[in-house]
Structure 1
Amino acid sequence: MDNRLEELIILNLLCVFILTYLLFLISAFLFPIDVAWYSKLKKPNWTPPSKLFGIVWGFLYFLIALSITIVESKVGIINTSSYFLLTWIINYLANQAFSFFQFKMKRLDLATIDCLVVALTGILLCFLTIPYSLLATLLIVPYVIWVIFATYLSYKIYRMNIKRAF
């Protein structure tokens, strides 16, 4: 392989990584955390500190971008199954929608349901990624674990903040 082709491949993979990472960061800019509102919510005593969430999500988005980049390098995203692509799209959209439901609409119920969709599609992605790369699969496992935890936390916060009508 000549140097020019190698450079193009590396540039393509770098673009895939950066684009994926930036796409996952979009909701943080479109629907920023309403710190005043969130701090007033009742939360379980095991809730991680608010500052930890940004750090964890930034790291997880890095792992997601790396996972997708590995799949691109192995087979090319366009050569993956339609189930793989559709599941990633649903997972991505649900991931982005969480901040909209939680911080823009302030709908803890919808945020919890959305978080469950992210968790379920994340689990499915683990299985759908295996044929393309075991390493890419392992890189999204921390995301799935965190989202399962986040779903439970979201549910608990929702339940603790339901306004009783009677």
Structure 2
Amino acid sequence: MKKFFILLILTFTIVLIPTIFIDFDTSNLIKPALFPPKLLFPIVWSILYLLMSISVYLSTKNDNEIYIIYFIQLIVNSIWSPLFFGLKWYFLSFLWLLLLLILATIMVKKMKEKNMVAYYLQIPYIIWIIFAGYLNLFVYILN
């Protein structure tokens, strides 16, 4: 259990540090249909990071390969917010999400080989990345 809490703390630290100085204001953007309320984003991401931590814990009993791909995709994930909100590089941040989707898919496939519960817990993450890609692409197109 100690390993899980360390993993959880590392996960939240990696994704939160790059966002400390970012203004997440989207009021000046022309938003696509289905753009959720601002309050929903931290709630969804917190749940997804918790599910990621549980999945990694369940699927990495003796497998460093999953740890490696997990932390790589987590770092890629954490860089998206500065690209999108900080630098307002909407097209590059969309491409960055495609990279994240590829890495997350690889991670989830590896988890499926080790633990089906871990695999199923990651399906919402993949869906949310795809949804974030939709939002990101249309913010780029509309702005």
TM-score of the superposition, structure 1-length normalised? 0.77
The SS at the match of 1:44 is coil
Which of structures 1 and 2 has the bigger CA Rg? Answer: 1
What RMSD over aligned residues (CA atoms) do the two structures have, in Å? 1.8
Aligned pair in 2 of structure 1 residues 95, 34: CA closer, same or farther (>3 Å)? same
The SS at the match of 2:30 is coil
AA partner of residue 47 (structure 2): F
Between 1 and 2, higher relative CO (CA 8 Å, sep ≥ 6) is seen in: 2
AA partner of residue 50 (structure 1): K
Partner residue, 2:13: 22
1:80 and 2:88 are equivalent in the alignment: no
Structure-1 separation of matches of 2:24 and 2:31:
15
Partner residue, 2:134: 152
Tell me by how many angstroms 1:86 deviates.
4.3
- Matches for 1:113-124 after TM superposition, within 5 Å: 113-124=95-106
AA partner of residue 33 (structure 1): D
Q: Is the 8 A contact 2:77 2:100 kept in 1?
A: yes
Q: 1:133 aligns with which of 96, 104, 115?
A: 115
Runs of 4+ in 1 over 6 A off after TM superposition: none
AA partner of residue 24 (structure 2): D
Partner residue, 1:90: 72
How many residue pairs match? The answer is: 143
Tell me by how many angstroms 1:138 deviates.
1.1
Structure-1 separation of matches of 2:49 and 2:96:
18
Partner residue, 2:87: 105
Tell me by how many angstroms 1:90 deviates.
3.1
Structure 2, gaps ≥5 residues long: none
Identity, % of aligned positions:
29
Partner residue, 2:38: 50
